[in-house]
Every structure is written in C-alpha cells, then in structure tokens.
Amino acid sequence: MTPAAPAPAPAPAAAALVRLRGLRKAYRAGLAGESEILHGLDLDLARGEFAALIGPSGSGKSTLLNVLGLLERASAGHYTLAGTDVEALDDAARTRLRRDAIGFVFQFHHLLPAFSALENVTLPALARDGRVTPAVRARAAALLAEVGLAPAMHRRPGELSGGMQQRVAVARALALAPALVLADEPTGNLDTATADEVFALLRRMHREAGTAFLVVTHDERLAARCDRRIAIVDGHIVADDGTAAA
C-alpha cells in the first residue's frame, strides 16, 4: 500500500502562538502493546487564528487536543505555547500555563448544576485566586451579556436550553482572557439552527477578543466557515489549506 504523501510544511511563523515540531504521542510507550497515535506532527498556529481540525473518528483529533491543552504529555518532539517550552515544564507549571493561556469548550458544557450561570463563569478565577472579587463578577456578567445571557445569568444550568448552556460554556472559556481556545465538537450536541448560532458566537468572540480558536468539528458546513482547515488522518496531518474562508 502506497503511504500518503506528507503534508506541506507549515509556513514560518516567527510569532506563532502554538508551534509543534516532530510531535509524537504514544500510549504504553516502551512497553508491550505500545500504540502511537500521533506520528511526528509539525504545526504552527498564529495568534488570533480561527482554524478547524477535521478528520475521521480515530484519526487522533482528540489526542492532539489533549496534548495541546496540556492534559497529556507528548511522547516525543517539541511543543511551544506562547513562547514557552512546554516539554520543559513540571506538572505545577503546566497547570498554571493551562489555566492562564488556554480556554476549553467541549461538546457537553460541563457546567456545575448547583451553580448559576454567573457563578459557573467565575470558576476559572476562583480556581486561580481562591476567591471571587467584584471585578471578577463584573467581568463574568459582561461576558454573559456579550453572549446574550444577561437576563439569565442567575439561572442554574437546568433552567437553560442546550444552546444557552453552551453559551455559558463559551463565556467561561474566555473568563481569563486566554490566548487560545480549544473547542472539541462544541456544536455536536445541538440541533442545526442552534449549532449555527453557537458557531456564529464563537466567530464573533474570536473577532472581538483576538483569541486563537482551534475547533474540532465533523460538520462540513461549519468547517468551511473557518479561516483554515487542518485535516488529520491516522495521526498524520494530510492537508492544511491555510486560506481564509469566503
């Protein structure tokens, strides 16, 4: 079987927010049954980009997001985030960098059901500082207003629709003004109309905050509306158009 042609090398990015070189991820590395999922990836993501990560199930998308999000360590290669050599950090420093530089939006909102929308958005600052200041509450309220939920900020998740819950999750992801937001199928649990609304919100927040977004999606319509589409198959980046969407 003829192997797939290697993807084009990423364009140079002197001030890349994310830079991967030769990144590999294996489970049970060095042991019987070792399974390598990511095979020497090279990738740059610039500050303020809005990119889609696409590929079939089992292609390595979630593993790549876990490594980018500092939830798992790479097995080999180099990962630089906002100028920091990630592989050189100990666990405590990785936790601080993840908290301060990265926001997450998942397919399921993962809101705390006993907390109001406002309280859920203050959670990142609470985890960082151990307290919620008036300034933190004011920013959380402002973010909820930006996502159209000012009238619902004191409701609990169970009182909100699925689309509203995901809007709270978007506000929470932006609570600490991260440089990068990783969104793993953020519209995958929503109907088409609500998915379009949430995606439009992501695009608007990207424009207004200047935050880089990497969005995993199986929705071809939404991927086509991203500025860049990166395709991964069997742990290899096989296409990267690097072009702006119309």
Average pLDDT over residues 64-88: 92
Average pLDDT over residues 68-90: 92
Of the candidates 204, 151, 205, 211, which has an alpha carbon nearest to the alpha carbon of residue 181?
Answer: 211
Q: What is the pLDDT of residue 13?
A: 42
Band (23; pLDDT cuts 50, 70, 90) = very high
Domain ranges of the chain: 48-75+100-240
Class of domain 48-75+100-240: alpha beta
Strand partners, 24: 39, 76
Q: How far apart are CA 68 and CA 86, in angstroms?
A: 10
Residue 136 has pLDDT above 60, yes or no: yes
Of the candidates 231, 228, 181, which has an alpha carbon nearest to the alpha carbon of residue 202?
Answer: 181
Each residue's pLDDT tens digit, 153-188: 999 999 999 889 988 998 999 898 899 999 988 887
Q: What's the pTM?
A: 0.84
The string over 77-111, giving b where at least 16 C-beta atoms fall within 10 Å of a residue's C-beta and e elsewhere, is: bebbbbeeebeebeeeebeebbbebbbbbbbebeb
Q: State how far the alpha carbon of 198 is from the alpha carbons of 129, 148, 179, 231, in Å.
A: 29, 11, 20, 22
